[in-house]
Chains A and B, each alone.
Chain A
C-alpha cells in the first residue's frame, strides 16, 4: 500500500501524461483568446484602408505612416501629452496627500480618528454616477471664482482625484507594518512625525508607494466619463476621450483607429511589462484597479 501511494504521489511530476497535455491545450487556447485581439490590433494598425476593412489578416506592406497620421493628423500627440500631464499631476498629488493621511491614520492619535476613517471608507461604496452631477456643479462653481479656469483645464481633471480613500487605506496598511522601535528611537533623537515620515517611513514604504502610483496612473489614463463632462474642447482632452472622439468622427478609418489604440495602450503595456510583479501582487493583495 505504502509504495503504491508513493508512486501515485509522484505521478503529477511526470511531464507528459494525457492530463498535462490537456491542461496545456486549455491554457494555450485561453491565452490565444486573450491575446488575439491585440495581435489583430497591431496588424490592423499597419494595414491600408482597403486591407483593414477587407479580410486581410496581415498587411501586404506595413504602413508605418499610419502611426504618423494618427500621431499628428488625428491629434493623438496632443491627447497623449495631455494625459501624461494629467496623470503626472494626479499621481504627485496622491503621493503627497495620501501618504500624509495614510501615515496619520496608521501612527498618530487624533480625535475621531476611527470615525473619520470609516466615513472615508464608506465613500468607496458610492457609485461614480451619484457624484458626477454634484461634482460637475461644484467644479463649474470653483472655476467661476478661482484665478484659473477649471472647466477645459487641468484642475478639473486632476484635483478631484488627488485623494483617494483606496490609496490612503493601502498606505495605512503599509505604515502599520513599520516597526514601532524605529519610531521610539527616532523620538529619542528628537524627530517629529514629519521628519520620521520623510527619513524613515517613506523609504521603507517604496513598494506601496509604487503600487499607489501605478494604480493612480492607470485610473487617470483610463478615465472617460468625467473627462467627457468637463472638457468641451480638445485642448485638455485626455487620450481615452481622444480615442473615443476619433472612433466616432472617423468611423471608417479602421487602420488609423487601430494605430490610435496602439498609441493609447503602449504606455500602460510598457509599464505593465516593466513592473509586472508589482502589478499582479498589488492587485492580488488589494483587489482593485485604480
Chain B
C-alpha cells in the first residue's frame, strides 16, 4: 500500500543538478498539475475530509465533535477492536517496509540512514500541513453559521473566507508547515549533493517519509482510540452504568489473533518434516477451534448491540457476493472455453455476449424490473404459467428463497432462510450483466496459453478434460484471480442497479452496504454517520483484498 513496495527505483545517472534538469522538472510539474489538482481535490482530500466528517455529529451542517461515537453506533465495541487492529496492521507495514529498505540498501551497499534527518523534518512539515488544514476547516465550515440573518451573497462568502484564512492560528500553522517542509527539502538537497553517493537516494527519502508518517499516524490513532475508551468509561461511570469495553476488546482481539496464529502455523507446517508438521497442525487446529469458539460467543452480542440496518446491509452484500461471483465466473469460463474452440461466428457470439455489459445500467435494470415484475402477466411470470407454475412476486418478495422452496408451513430458523427472492433477481441481473466482460478477459487469458502444451499433452494421450484440468485451469489462474478480486470488490461497491431495482415491498432485503450508506447520507442526512459507515465498508473491502491476495499467493501459478 505504501510507495516502497510498488515503486520501481528511479534509475538515473548521478550527476550534479543542472539548469536543464530543473527546467525539465518544472515542465513535468506543470504537465501533471491540472490532473493532479483535480485528483487531489476530488480523490485524495476527500479521504481525509471524510475522516473529519465521520468524527462529528453532522447533519447537513457540521455539529459537534463526537470522537468515535459514529463508529460505535454501527459496530458497537467492535469499533474499538477494529481501530486497534488498524494500528497493528499499520505498524506491521511500517516494520516490513523498513526492513525491506534496509535489505535493499545492503544489496547496493548504501547507507539509507543519512536520509533520516531530512525525512524526519519533511514528514514533520507534511504533518504540520495536515494540522493547518484541520485548523482551517472548522473556520471555513463555520461560515454559514456566521451568515445567519445576513443575505448569503458570494461577496460575503468570499469576505468571510478571507477572514478564515487570516485567523492568526491558521496563519501561523500554515507558515510553520511551509518553513519546516522547505527546511526538510533543503536538507534533502544537501544530502543528495554532498553526502549520499547512491542513485536510489530519492527512493530512500520518500520511503522514509512514508514510514515516519504512517508510524506517527498509527501511534496517534492508537492513542486516540485509547482515550476514547477512557472517555466512554468516564461517561458510563457518571451515569452509574458499567461497561465492558476492555473485556470485549481483549476477548475479540484474542479470538482474531488465535485465528491468525492458527493460519500462520498451518502454513509454516507445510515446510517442516512430518513429525513437527503433525504437531504444528494439531496446534493450529486447536487454536482455530478456541479462536472460533471465542468469536462465536462474543461477536453476536456485539452485532446485536450495533446498527441493525447496517449489519443487515452487510449480510445482504455477503449473500449477493456469494450468490453472484462463483456463477458469473463459472459460466463465463465455460463460455470462453467453448468460444476458444475451432468454431464459426466467434466474433458474433462475442459481440452478443458483451452487449449486456456495455448497456447503460439503469436501462438494463429497467428491463429486468419489467421482466421480473410481480404482475401475473409479466414476462417471467407468463413463462412460468406456460409450464404450469404459479406466479411469484419476484422483486416484491422479501421472503428468503429457502423459505419459499420449503413452503410457507416449514419452520426454518431465520438465519437459514437465505437471500430474499428479490435479491436473487438482482443476483441474476448481475450475473447476466457481467458474464460478457468475464468471458472477454478469460478469452484473452486463454489466448496467452502456449499451444504447444496442448499438443504435447495430446501426444501423451491426455483427454480433453485432463487437458482442461491440468493445463488450462492452472495457467489461467492469474486471470481467474484478477477476475475474482474485481468481482468481489465490485459486489461490495454495487449500487446503481440495486438502486433501480429495489422496491419498498422487498422490505430492505435488497439493500446492500452501499445502499445503506447512500440512504443514510442522502435521505436521512446523517453525514457524519454515513461517512463512518463508508470507512467500515472500505475496511471490509481492504480485508477481502488482503485475503484474496493471500489465497492467490498459494494458488496462482504464474507460469
Contacts and interface: CB of A to CB of B under 8 A. Distances in A.
Interface in B24-77: 24-29, 31-32, 34-39, 41-47, 49-50, 53
A34 interface: yes
Contact of B358 (A35, A109, A218): A218
A36 B350 CA distance: 16
A129 B518 contact: yes
Nearest to B41: A138
Interface stretch (B89-97, B103-111, B530-538): B530-538
B276 interface: no
A101 B30 CA distance: 9
A225 interface: yes
B360 A100 contact: no
A166 B320 CA distance: 27
Contacts of A159: 38
Nearest to A242: B362
Given A40-B371, A279-B358, A283-B440, A192 B343 contact: no
B43 A31 contact: no
A136 to B, nearest CB: 8
Given A40-B371, A132-B518, A104 B362 contact: no
Nearest to A52: B370
A160 interface: yes
B495 interface: yes
B353 A145 contact: no
Contact of B25 (A110, A144, A240, A265): A110
A204 to B, nearest CB: 17
Nearest to A128: B493
B309 to A, nearest CB: 15
A191 interface: no
A130 interface: yes
A176 interface: no
Contacts, number: 317
Interface string B429-453: 0001001110011011000000000
Contacts of B369: 247
Contacts of B83: none
Contacts of A272: 354-355, 358
A27 B495 contact: no
A240 B362 CA distance: 6
B25 A225 contact: no
B352 A34 contact: yes
Interface string B334-351: 110011011100000111
Contact of B362 (A116, A132, A244): A244
B382 interface: yes
B123 interface: no
B495 A141 contact: no
A243 B361 CA distance: 11
Interface in A54-109: 54-55, 96-98, 100-101, 103-105, 108-109
Interface stretch (B5-13, B176-184, B286-294, B412-420): B5-13
B451 to A, nearest CB: 12
B361 A222 contact: yes
Interface of B: 1-3, 6-8, 10, 12, 21, 24-29, 31-32, 34-39, 41-47, 49-50, 53, 140, 152, 154, 157-158, 161, 202-203, 206, 210, 331, 334-335, 338-339, 341-343, 349-364, 366-371, 375, 377, 379, 382, 432, 435-437, 440-441, 443-444, 455, 458-459, 482, 486, 492-493, 495-496, 499-500, 513-514, 517-518, 521-522, 527, 530-531, 533-535, 537-538, 541-542, 545
Interface of A: 5, 8-9, 12-13, 20, 23-24, 26-27, 30-31, 33-35, 37-38, 40-41, 44, 53-55, 96-98, 100-101, 103-105, 108-123, 125-138, 141, 144-147, 159-160, 162-165, 168, 192-194, 218, 221-222, 224-225, 228-229, 239-241, 243-244, 247, 254, 257-258, 260-262, 264-265, 268-269, 272, 276, 279-280, 283-285, 287, 289
27 contacts: A26-B335, A30-B349, A98-B35, A100-B34, A100-B35, A103-B31, A104-B32, A109-B25, A114-B3, A114-B203, A117-B7, A121-B6, A123-B39, A129-B513, A132-B530, A132-B534, A133-B521, A133-B531, A138-B45, A147-B154, A193-B27, A243-B366, A261-B363, A261-B366, A265-B364, A284-B441, A287-B486
Given A30-B331, A134-B531, A258-B367, 19 more contacts: A23-B341, A53-B375, A97-B35, A101-B35, A109-B25, A111-B29, A113-B28, A116-B32, A120-B36, A126-B47, A129-B538, A133-B531, A134-B47, A141-B140, A163-B39, A225-B496, A240-B360, A240-B361, A269-B355
